[in-house]
């Protein structure tokens, strides 16, 4: 068989995106122009989707126009095409793509699955049009609210929640049930949980399930305690009776004998029972060892020990060894029973929510598809969308989840069976998204098995185009060692296997630089403080060499670290130590947060203040931010004098105090725009980006949720931590990036100042594992949640612990790899000496040190005294970044009140006429008569017209006869009925065009030969201008060669006719203006 399926293992910097683009182009150019629609390329993020599309179009444009291009040469060779054909084909493909753009299928996996499901549900009429919800936190919020509402009426649930609340208290978690539940509930979106969700729902649907399980487990636990405490009590009794002083027993206080018996006699928490030490098991089981030198009656002691105590010890140990494991397992499961219950209830509520709202969560899609496919080889669900594709190109494969892969498999197999090529690209070593469901084992081993070895070829992209030689060399050796160390520690094979392809060839010929520095605690300072102090120094060193600040990145493990670094650099910058020749500006995730901008906070404070004028914190914030933005020097003591209204307002723009009442009436978006205007925020150029992003949120909020300031403020409080700017284009500062976020990026100089994270899970943030066991009675429980801890080694869930432990080590090793491979020119790392404070457990620092120490070839670069590794030379780079598209800036943020400018047609003035605020009156005043009369030509059209205005909602059906009656009455006047007779040619609302852009519209014009009658209907009271207007009409008609012209006004309220024929005419204003309304 031919190798139709290729797996590209692409280590860091090996040109993965190019590989993918090339494969795409190759497939597209191999065939006729429209073939491209059979290729599906799947990328990991939207950003990379966009990049890939742009890249392919740009390549095609180069090819089509015959511009010299390296890739073109490769493709021509591989496709065996001559220049002309190649160019022709390219043009063809380009045109096809541009004009059939929706079939240009490069998308994220989520987007693709959505398309499939959407078409399935639509075509089969299953769900009508379900709504896709992307923000699962929003949903969760509602679900938790539902849940809380159910408390009280649902006893069991109440119990879970109370227990949860108590547990939160005891574990020092924050005390906000709603918030902690929300956080807790997030795990139900994880794939690990989704895999077993259905089983759990099934189990927990049985009402007795919990009670029975709890009883059973309780029995296991109490059995053990009962069994073991009896001999322990006996022993204690004997010891008490004997009345020996503790010093008479060997080792005295440290013997452990008392503790041993006491523990087993009294301890109710099984987890607090430690395995009896060696001394007890092997020393005190020998009678002669019991007495110490000071024993008063050694013989008696030996005898007592031999006859009574040692058998009791044996008895206890026996029970311990036989039952402890189960008892501990039971206890740990019991501790998390409420989790179980809660999760089940939340999951149930979530289902209800989705059903009620006809919603699918984005995160549901893979599982949904999987369920529908149900291991079938030719799933019907792909009939409409998926089976159309012949080639699949999947990027970042190491982060693909089990469900995602299973969903793809049938499509893929199908196309492979027909001999079509497909590829996946990925790097196991860069798998750092396990918490999002990514399963690196797929790439590592399973895919090859599932597709079939004979069809698969594995290719290694083994040249690193990114980093300098020294960095590559260092990483090659370092990670080989590290992986093997991790294997030894965890006794899992996966880490080493994952890193077997770590060795890379270099491409760039310059040398590069690596420095790893281990820091120790000193009396007055911790290692971390030293590291923090070093950061500005390193920035200085680099800058003084000529390195540009924005070529430097500081990689951190967590956002909070970044926050601290940013704060400390700011402090340093304002301190006397700062070097005037250097800069210390950084951009971090935190500094990109919208609530980090003064103007945004000012707006929020102003809104809050307007909602709750007594909120003095809002007042203080408003006053303070405004003083900052104004930049004038007002003493802060004055600024914060906000308790007093007069002082408070004196510090704000006068316009604000003046228009407060009016501002309160503005809808959300207009309010914020107006505030921007009043406070002059549009001129703070450095913050315009924030302002813009903030307004975006406001806009989004009111179109999605509500046009309500209060609701917005509430939403903001809950969501502000998620709102930050996207960096687009260049920033003139060093970047602080988390390692996770740095994946896929590269920087010339990389600092990793706190290389200290733990290889295992953080003690305070341990995950919940869903475990099961075949041991009785746990086998009945199905999947149970249990907290990850080393104690699990002693339970019947030990293999779950083992597995999780290996994974955790690998995750953290991968993070190290991702971090270390970002650098192009230099990598500067600081790590704690493994003996430093806070370095319990096995940390990445220790791994680093041990990997360096044990490597022969590193010896020459490693100074064990100063704990410093250094190789290569540190130089400044001179090469330029490619210039991006030209940029424009906003000079100011333009805002103005549009209502002043807009002219709209107004109907309400007459509707809400002060004299006629109810409908009866409006009818009496002839408002609708006007409408009818001005629209009809002859009397017989009245009934239809009445129907029409009912349709328009002007009057209700009940009011129709009333109006008819009025019209009848009016038309009984002979003059009027003549106007509506068929004697005349009638023009209604007839436009007469005047030269120069004006026009006149006459309500009613009656024509017979050269004779014309003008009739104008009026609803209000008599008005001089009415006369003038009609006179003007008459004069215009005269200009139009009518010899005999008459004009009338009909006042509908008073049913009065005015004849204007005798009066002299003057030119009038246009009639239309009366209908126009300038607002304000």
Partner 1 sequence: MKPFLYELAEKLYREHPHPENVTVVFPNRRASLYFRKYFSQIIEKPVFSPRLITIEEFISAYSTLQVPDKLELIHRLYKAYRTVTHTEEQFDRFYFWGEMLIRDFDEVDKYMVNAPLLFQDLSNQKELDSRFDFLTPEQLAFLRAFWGNFDGKDGATKNKFLNLWRQLPDVYEEFKKQLKNEGFAYEGLIHREVAEAFASGTIKAESSPHYAPETWFVGFNALTGAEERILTWFVDNTQSKIHWDLDDYYLNNKTQEAGEFFREYQSHAVLGKTFEANAPVNFSLKKNMRVVGAAQPVGQAKIMSQLLEQELADGMIPEETLIVLPDEKLMLPVLHGISASVDKLNVTMGYPLTNTPMFNLIELLIELQTHRRGDFYHHRQVLSLLNHPHVISADPASANEKRKRIQSENWVMVPGSMLRTDHVLQKLIFCEATETSILEYLRQVVEQVGALAQTEAVDKEFAVHFLRFLNRMEDVLGATYSSLKAFLQLFRQLVKTQKIPFTGEPLRGLQVMGVLETRNLDFKNVFILSLNEGSLPSGSGKGSYIPYNIRKAYRLPTVEHQDSIYAYLFYRVMQRAENVYLFYNSETDALGQGEMSRYLQQLLYESGIKPERQVLHNPIHPLEIKPITIPKDQEILEALNRLNEGNVYFKGISPSALNSYLECRLQFYFRYIAKVREPNEVEEDIDARIMGTFLHDVMELFYKRIREKKRSKDIIAGDFDRMEATIDALLDEVFIKKYNLDPTKKVEFEGQRLVVREVVKRFALRILEMDKAYTPFVMEAVEQSGVLYRIKINQSPGYAVVGGKIDRVDSKDGLLRIIDYKTGKDKLDFESVASLFARDGKRNKAAFQTLIYALLYQTNMNPAAINSRISPGLINRLNLFEEATEFGLRLAKAPVKDVKFLLLEFEDRLRKLLEEIFNPETVFDQTTVIETCRICPYKNICYR
Touching partner 1, residues 1020-1059 (CB under 8 A): 1036, 1039-1040
Closest CB to partner 1 among 279 and 741?
741
C-alpha closest to that of 31 among 107, 85, 103, 67: 85
Q: Which of 261, 290, 479, 690 binds partner 1 (CB under 8 A)?
A: 690
* By CB under 8 A, residue 938 contacts partner 1: no
Q: Shortest gap between Cβ of 917 and partner 1 (angstroms)?
A: 5
Site for partner 1 in 641-680 (CB under 8 A): 641-643, 661, 664-667, 669-670, 673
* By CB under 8 A, residue 994 contacts partner 1: yes
Compute the distance between CA of residue 872 and CA of residue 235 in angstroms, rounded to an integer.
68
* By CB under 8 A, residue 68 contacts partner 1: no
* By CB under 8 A, residue 20 contacts partner 1: no
Is the four-CA dihedral 715, 719, 725, 726 of positive or negative sign?
negative
Closest CB to partner 1 among 298 and 596?
596
Is the four-CA dihedral 354, 360, 363, 368 of positive or negative sign?
positive
Q: Which stretch binds partner 1 (CB under 8 A): 505-513, 777-785, 790-798, 952-960?
A: 952-960
Compute the distance between CA of residue 1028 and CA of residue 61 in angstroms, rounded to an integer.
68
Q: Shortest gap between Cβ of 702 and partner 1 (angstroms)?
A: 7
Q: Which stretch binds partner 1 (CB under 8 A): 75-83, 387-395, 411-419, 878-886?
A: 878-886
Site for partner 1 in 252-281 (CB under 8 A): 268
Is the four-CA dihedral 50, 56, 59, 60 of positive or negative sign?
negative
Q: Beta-carbon neighbour count of residue 715 at 10 Å?
A: 18
Q: Which of 613, 654, 838, 961 binds partner 1 (CB under 8 A)?
A: 613
Q: Which of 389, 474, 527, 624 binds partner 1 (CB under 8 A)?
A: 624
# residues contacting partner 1 (CB under 8 A): 188
**Is the distance from CB of 625 to CB of 601 less than 8 angstroms?**
yes
**Is the distance from CB of 538 to CB of 555 less than 8 angstroms?**
no
Q: Name residue 784's beta-bridge partners.
A: 771
Q: Which stretch binds partner 1 (CB under 8 A): 444-452, 772-780, 951-959, 1046-1054?
A: 951-959
Compute the distance between CA of residue 130 and CA of residue 238 in angstroms, rounded to an integer.
74
**Is the distance from CB of 706 to CB of 614 less than 8 angstroms?**
no
* By CB under 8 A, residue 388 contacts partner 1: no
**Is the distance from CB of 379 to CB of 373 less than 8 angstroms?**
yes
Token reading at 764: 């305070």
Q: What is the 3-class SS of 718-754, one letter each residue?
A: HHHHHCECCCCCCCCCEEEEEHHHHCCCCEEEEEECC
Site for partner 1 in 192-221 (CB under 8 A): 198
* By CB under 8 A, residue 707 contacts partner 1: yes
Q: Shortest gap between Cβ of 111 and partner 1 (angstroms)?
A: 5
Compute the distance between CA of residue 273 and CA of residue 659 in angstroms, rounded to an integer.
70
Coil, strand or helix: which one is 98?
A: helix
Coil, strand or helix: which one is 587?
A: strand
Exposed/middle/buried for residue 616 (C-beta within 10 Å: 0-12, 13-18, 19+): middle
* By CB under 8 A, residue 995 contacts partner 1: yes
Compute the distance between CA of residue 596 and CA of residue 385 in angstroms, rounded to an integer.
45
Q: Which of 728, 765, 774, 878 binds partner 1 (CB under 8 A)?
A: 728
Which whole-number Å values give the CA distances from 712 to 556, 698, 845, 995, in the listed order? 33, 8, 45, 53
Closest CB to partner 1 among 864 and 909?
909
Closest CB to partner 1 among 40 and 815?
40
Q: Shortest gap between Cβ of 418 and partner 1 (angstroms)?
A: 22
Q: Shortest gap between Cβ of 102 and partner 1 (angstroms)?
A: 7
Q: Which stretch binds partner 1 (CB under 8 A): 8-16, 230-238, 483-491, 610-618?
A: 610-618
* By CB under 8 A, residue 374 contacts partner 1: yes
Site for partner 1 in 541-580 (CB under 8 A): 564, 567, 570, 574
**Is the distance from CB of 482 to CB of 813 less than 8 angstroms?**
yes
Q: Beta-carbon neighbour count of residue 1052 at 10 Å?
A: 19
The one-character DSSP state at 645 is H
Q: Shortest gap between Cβ of 727 and partner 1 (angstroms)?
A: 7
Q: Shortest gap between Cβ of 597 and partner 1 (angstroms)?
A: 5
Closest CB to partner 1 among 77 and 633?
633
Strands 391-394 and 39-43: parallel
Q: Which of 84, 840, 889, 972 binds partner 1 (CB under 8 A)?
A: 889
Compute the distance between CA of residue 738 and CA of residue 563 in angstroms, rounded to an integer.
11
Site for partner 1 in 144-163 (CB under 8 A): 148-149, 151-152, 158, 161-162
* By CB under 8 A, residue 380 contacts partner 1: yes
Closest CB to partner 1 among 575 and 878?
575
* By CB under 8 A, residue 891 contacts partner 1: yes
Compute the distance between CA of residue 66 and CA of residue 88 in angstroms, rounded to an integer.
10
Token reading at 725: 């700017």
Task: Residue count of the chain, please give it.
Answer: 1080
Closest CB to partner 1 among 587 and 759?
587
Q: Which of 169, 544, 775, 790 binds partner 1 (CB under 8 A)?
A: 169
The DSSP-derived string for 164-175 is: HHHHHHHTT--S
Q: Shortest gap between Cβ of 618 and partner 1 (angstroms)?
A: 7
Q: Which stretch binds partner 1 (CB under 8 A): 242-250, 332-340, 370-378, 780-788?
A: 370-378
Q: Shortest gap between Cβ of 476 and partner 1 (angstroms)?
A: 36
* By CB under 8 A, residue 435 contacts partner 1: no
Structure-token match 């999987």, residue found: 370
Strands 131-133 and 456-461: unpaired
The backbone torsions φ and ψ at residue 554, rounded to the nearest 5 degrees and listed phi first, read -110, 115
Q: Which of 732, 779, 940, 969 binds partner 1 (CB under 8 A)?
A: 732
Site for partner 1 in 46-65 (CB under 8 A): 46, 49-50, 53, 57, 61
Q: Shortest gap between Cβ of 355 and partner 1 (angstroms)?
A: 5
Q: Which of 84, 240, 865, 887 binds partner 1 (CB under 8 A)?
A: 887
Q: Shortest gap between Cβ of 94 and partner 1 (angstroms)?
A: 7
Closest CB to partner 1 among 613 and 841?
613
Q: Which of 165, 246, 334, 876 binds partner 1 (CB under 8 A)?
A: 165
Q: Which of 6, 90, 94, 517 binds partner 1 (CB under 8 A)?
A: 94
Closest CB to partner 1 among 296 and 574?
574
The backbone torsions φ and ψ at residue 1008, rounded to the nearest 5 degrees and listed phi first, read -140, 115
Closest CB to partner 1 among 82 and 272?
272
Exposed/middle/buried for residue 146 (C-beta within 10 Å: 0-12, 13-18, 19+): middle
The one-character DSSP state at 757 is -
* By CB under 8 A, residue 992 contacts partner 1: yes
Compute the distance between CA of residue 507 and CA of residue 504 in angstroms, rounded to an integer.
10
* By CB under 8 A, residue 78 contacts partner 1: no
Site string for partner 1, 110-129 (x = CB under 8 A): xx--x-------xxxxxxxx
Closest CB to partner 1 among 91 and 870?
91
* By CB under 8 A, residue 318 contacts partner 1: no
As a whole number of angstroms, the longest Cα–Cα distance in the chain is: 149
Closest CB to partner 1 among 300 and 705?
705
List the Cα angle 750/829/588 in 5-degree steps. 45
Site for partner 1 in 903-922 (CB under 8 A): 903-909, 911-912, 914, 917-918
Strand-by-strand arrangement of the 456-461 sheet: 106-108, 39-43, 391-394, 422-426, 5-10, 456-461
Q: Is the peptide bond before 777 cis (omega within 30 degrees of 0)?
A: yes
């Amino acid at each position: 068989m031919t190798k139709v399926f290729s797996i590209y293992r692409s280590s860091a910097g090996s040109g993965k995106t190019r590989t993918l683009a090339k494969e795409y182009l190759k497939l597209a150019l191999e065939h006729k122009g429209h073939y491209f629609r059979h290729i599906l390329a799947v990328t990991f993020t939207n950003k990379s989707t966009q990049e890939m599309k742009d890249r392919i179009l740009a390549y095609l444009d180069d090819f089509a126009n015959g511009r010299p291009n390296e890739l073109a040469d490769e493709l021509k060779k591989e496709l065996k095409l001559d220049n002309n054909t190649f160019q022709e084909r390219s043009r063809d493909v380009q045109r096809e793509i541009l004009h059939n753009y929706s079939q240009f299928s490069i998308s994220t996996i989520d987007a693709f699955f959505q398309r499939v499901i959407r078409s399935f549900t639509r075509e089969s009429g299953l769900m009508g049009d379900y709504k896709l919800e992307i923000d699962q936190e929003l949903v969760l919020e509602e679900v938790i609210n539902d849940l809380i509402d159910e408390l009280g009426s649902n006893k069991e649930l109440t119990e879970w929640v109370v227990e949860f609340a108590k547990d939160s208290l005891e574990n020092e978690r924050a005390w906000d049930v709603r918030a902690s539940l929300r956080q807790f509930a997030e795990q139900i979106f994880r794939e690990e949980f989704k895999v077993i969700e259905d089983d759990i729902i099934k189990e927990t649907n049985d009402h007795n399930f919990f009670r029975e399980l709890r009883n059973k487990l309780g029995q296991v636990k109490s059995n053990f305690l009962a069994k073991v405490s009896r001999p322990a009590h006996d022993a204690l009794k004997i010891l008490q009776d004997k009345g020996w002083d503790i010093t008479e027993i060997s080792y005295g206080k440290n013997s452990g004998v008392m503790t041993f018996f006491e523990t087993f006699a009294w301890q109710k928490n099984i987890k607090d029972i430690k395995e009896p030490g060696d001394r007890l098991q092997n020393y005190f089981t020998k009678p002669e060892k019991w007495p110490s030198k000071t024993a008063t009656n050694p013989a008696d002691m030996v005898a007592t020990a031999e006859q009574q105590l040692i058998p009791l010890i044996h008895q206890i140990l026996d029970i311990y060894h036989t039952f402890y494991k189960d008892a501990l397992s039971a206890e740990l499961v019991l501790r998390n029973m409420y989790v179980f219950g809660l999760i089940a209830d939340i999951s149930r509520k979530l289902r209800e929510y989705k059903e009620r709202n006809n919603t699918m969560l984005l995160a549901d899609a893979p599982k949904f598809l999987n369920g529908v496919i149900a291991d079938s080889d030719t799933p019907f669900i792909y009939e409409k969308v998926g089976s159309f594709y012949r080639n699949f190109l999947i990027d970042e494969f190491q982060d693909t989840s089990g469900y995602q892969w299973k969903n793809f498999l049938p499509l893929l197999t199908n196309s492979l069976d027909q001999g079509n090529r497909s590829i996946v690209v990925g790097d196991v070593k860069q798998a750092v998204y396990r918490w999002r469901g990514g399963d690196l084992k797929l790439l590592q081993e399973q895919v090859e098995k599932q597709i079939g070895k004979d069809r698969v070829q594995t290719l290694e992209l083994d040249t690193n185009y990114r980093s300098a030689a020294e960095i590559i060399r260092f990483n090659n050796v370092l990670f080989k060692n590290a992986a093997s160390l991790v294997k030894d520690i965890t006794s899992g094979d996966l880490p080493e296997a994952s890193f077997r392809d770590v060795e890379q060839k270099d491409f760039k010929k310059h040398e590069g630089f690596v420095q790893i520095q281990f820091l120790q605690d000193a009396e007055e300072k911790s290692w971390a403080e030293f590291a923090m102090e070093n950061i500005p120094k390193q920035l200085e060193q680099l800058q003084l060499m000529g390195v540009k600040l924005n070529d430097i990145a500081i990689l951190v493990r967590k956002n909070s670290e970044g926050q601290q670094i940013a704060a400390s650099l700011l402090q340093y910058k304002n301190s006397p130590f700062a070097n005037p020749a250097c800069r210390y500006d950084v951009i971090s995730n935190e500094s990109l947060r919208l609530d980090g901008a003064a103007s945004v906070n000012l707006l929020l404070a102003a809104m809050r203040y307007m909602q709750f004028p007594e909120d003095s914190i809002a007042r203080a914030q408003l006053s303070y931010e405004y003083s900052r933005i104004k930049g004038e020097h007002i003493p802060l003591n004055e600024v914060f004098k906000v308790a007093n209204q007069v002082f408070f307002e004196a510090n704000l723009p006068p316009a604000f105090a003046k228009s407060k009442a009016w501002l309160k009436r503005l809808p959300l978006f207009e309010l914020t725009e107006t505030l921007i205007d009043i406070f002059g925020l549009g001129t703070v150029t450095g913050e315009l980006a924030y302002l813009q992003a903030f307004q975006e949120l406001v806009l989004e909020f009111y179109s999605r949720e509500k046009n309500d300031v209060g609701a917005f403020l509430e939403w903001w409080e809950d969501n502000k931590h998620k709102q930050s700017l996207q960096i687009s284009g260049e920033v003139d500062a060093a970047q602080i990036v988390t390692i996770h976020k740095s994946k896929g990026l590269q920087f010339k100089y990389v600092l990793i100042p706190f290389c200290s994270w733990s290889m295992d899970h953080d003690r305070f943030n341990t995950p919940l594992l869903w475990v099961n066991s075949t041991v009785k009675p746990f086998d009945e429980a199905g999947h149970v949640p249990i907290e990850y801890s080393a104690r699990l080694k002693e339970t019947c869930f030990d293999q779950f612990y083992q597995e999780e432990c290996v994974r955790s080590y690998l995750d953290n090793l991968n993070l190290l790899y991702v971090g270390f491979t970002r650098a192009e020119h230099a990598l500067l790392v600081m790590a704690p000496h493994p003996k430093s404070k806070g370095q319990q457990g096995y940390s990445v620092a220790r791994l680093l040190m041990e990997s360096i120490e044990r490597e022969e070839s590193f010896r020459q670069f490693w100074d064990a005294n100063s704990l410093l590794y250094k190789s290569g030379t540190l130089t400044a780079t001179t090469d330029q970044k490619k210039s991006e598209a030209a940029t424009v800036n906003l000079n100011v943020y333009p805002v103005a009140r549009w209502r002043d400018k807009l002219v709209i047609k107004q109907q309400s003035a007459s509707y809400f006429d002060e004299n006629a605020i109810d409908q009866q009156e409006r009818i009496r005043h002839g408002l609708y008569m006007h409408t009818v009369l001005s629209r009809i030509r002859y009397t017989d059209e009245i009934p239809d017209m009445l129907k029409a205005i009912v349709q328009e909602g002007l009057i209700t059906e009940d009011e129709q006869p009333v109006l008819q009656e009025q019209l009848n009455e009016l038309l009984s006047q002979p003059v009027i009925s003549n106007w509506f007779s068929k004697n005349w040619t009638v023009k209604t609302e007839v436009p007469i065009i005047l030269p120069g852009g004006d026009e006149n519209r006459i309500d009613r014009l009656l024509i017979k030969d050269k004779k014309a009658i003008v009739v104008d209907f009026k609803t209000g009271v008599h008005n001089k201008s009415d006369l003038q207007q009609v006179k003007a009409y008459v004069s215009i008609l005269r200009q139009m060669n009518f010899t005999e012209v008459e004009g009338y006004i009909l006042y509908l309220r008073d049913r009065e006719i005015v004849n204007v024929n005798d009066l002299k005419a003057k030119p009038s204003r246009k009639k239309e203006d009366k209908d126009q309304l300038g607002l304000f």
